[in-house]
A = this chain, B = another copy of it.
């Protein structure tokens, strides 16, 4: 069974919410940090409380390495400890690293994030340099069941600069990228009908989302942008087939939920927000 199969089953069991541990030190509630600990150590304590509170309603966790890199060696130690803590729960974990390089350099990134200190179940990748920026990860996909999610269509304002441009053949740049990655993913299909090569697909308007879902039936989606970045449950429901086939990330919406729930402890608030998000997505899927 591949990690993508395990993720499918996790979503079937607990829903598609991906809890994003993009933890900035400033997110810690007032009085939470202990002065005798480093910033990284305090972030780990915060993350552990979030993981404990949300693991029963999380399809997976996603750890954004940039937040940890920004604290240097202390931060990367916290990154490792956060990954270790999530892995001990058995809930799948995506390392959001968006690395993109080729040949031996890509082999080094694969080694870095699919084994050793920073081992994760899935990583995110950037495709700009071509399919040979994806291939060096495939031995880990084939031999260890690891999975990747590759950027295809994002929904940030700058996506229009390159991704949404039209090619000579009428497709968008992101269609070309998605088509080639989807084709490449046929070589690593899992038991549940999804490839170990997943796609990062941001929210969009309903017609286009339905078209993208139909075009890449066997690609599992990592869907960013719920809440803080403006994606709604209705938009996102289009990407899920009978409620599965993708995970929906929220980071700040969950980590900072306590700011919108006065008097509620931060981990409990995060749990509440996961439940609300899960129900909103389920209701939107049921209405389809």
| A residues whose Cβ falls under 8 Å from a Cβ of B | 22, 24, 64, 66-67, 69-73, 75-77, 80, 98-106, 108-109, 111-113, 116-118, 126-133, 135, 151, 154, 156-163, 165-168, 170, 173, 176-177, 180
Contacts of A111 in B (CB 8 A): 70
A223 to B: closest C-beta gap in Å: 15
- Check B108–A69 contact: CB distance below 8 A: yes
Q: Is the CB of A154 within 8 A of B129?
A: yes
From the candidates B102, B128, B166, B177, name the one contacting A127 in the complex (CB within 8 A).
B128
Q: Decide if the interface of chain A is mainly helix, strand, loop or mixed.
A: helix
Contact yes or no, B130 A69, CB < 8 A = no
* Residues of chain B within 8 A of A157, CB atoms compared: 130, 132
- Which one of B132, B158, B176 contacts A129 once the chains associate, using CB atoms below 8 Å? B158
Contact A127 B162, beta carbon cutoff 8 Å = yes
Most buried by B among A69, A72, A100, A163: A69
Q: Which of B116, B133, B165 is the one whose CB lies under 8 Å from A72? A: B116
Tell which of B24, B102, B166, B173 touches A158, judged by Cβ atoms closer than 8 Å. B102
Cβ contact within 8 Å between B117 and A73: yes
Bound complex: CA A116 to CA B118 (Å):
21
Residues on the B chain within 8 Å of A165, using CB = 167-168, 173, 176
